[in-house]
């Protein structure tokens, strides 16, 4: 299970469905992504600002979305990315969706819409 100190984790309605599918169909990929998610969370908890967190397994996408990938999880793992959004005001890390290279464009659009909706609901 993910350790959490300062930042709270908030899954989107899509995340549990995606996680369940990956655990059943691609367990190595989801394990690697979740390991890197913990690394990201540890960095967030230690950093003064979410924007300064960097790593070879992190990819910055539009609207503040950060994709956590499978790097370091073993040889021959297909590209897999867990899309997150770190809200610095609430110290909430939103787990939005997870996908592979084939769904990347759709995933990024989904995440952009998610973040825009989230920002509208807090203003």
Phi-psi region of 63 (alpha: psi -120 to 50; beta: other; left: phi over 0): left
With a cut of 70, say whether residue 4 has pLDDT above it: no
Q: What are phi and psi of 11, to 5 degrees?
A: -80, 145
What is the set of domains in the chain, with CATH numbers?
A: 8-122 (3.30.2310.20)
pLDDT digit string (tens) for 50-102? 888 999 999 999 999 999 999 998 888 999 999 999 999 899 999 999 999 99
Q: What are phi and psi of 104, to 5 degrees?
A: -55, -45
What distance in Å separates the CA atoms of residue 80 and residue 35, rounded to the nearest whole number?
Answer: 13
What distance in Å separates the CA atoms of residue 65 and residue 90, rounded to the nearest whole number?
Answer: 16
DSSP-assigned beta bridge partners for residue 80: 100
pTM: 0.91
């Amino acid at each position: 299970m993910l350790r959490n100190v300062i930042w709270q984790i908030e899954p989107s309605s899509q995340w549990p469905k995606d996680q369940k599918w990956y655990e059943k169909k691609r367990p190595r990929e989801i394990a690697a992504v979740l390991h890197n998610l913990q690394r990201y969370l540890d960095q967030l908890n230690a950093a003064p600002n979410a924007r300064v967190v960097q790593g070879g397994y992190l990819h910055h996408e539009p609207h503040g979305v950060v994709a956590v990938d499978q790097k370091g999880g073993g040889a021959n793992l297909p590209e897999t990315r867990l899309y997150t959004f770190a809200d610095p005001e609430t110290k909430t890390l939103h787990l939005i969706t997870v996908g592979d290279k084939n769904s990347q464009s759709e995933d990024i659009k989904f995440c952009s819409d998610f973040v825009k909706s989230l920002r509208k609901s807090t203003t």
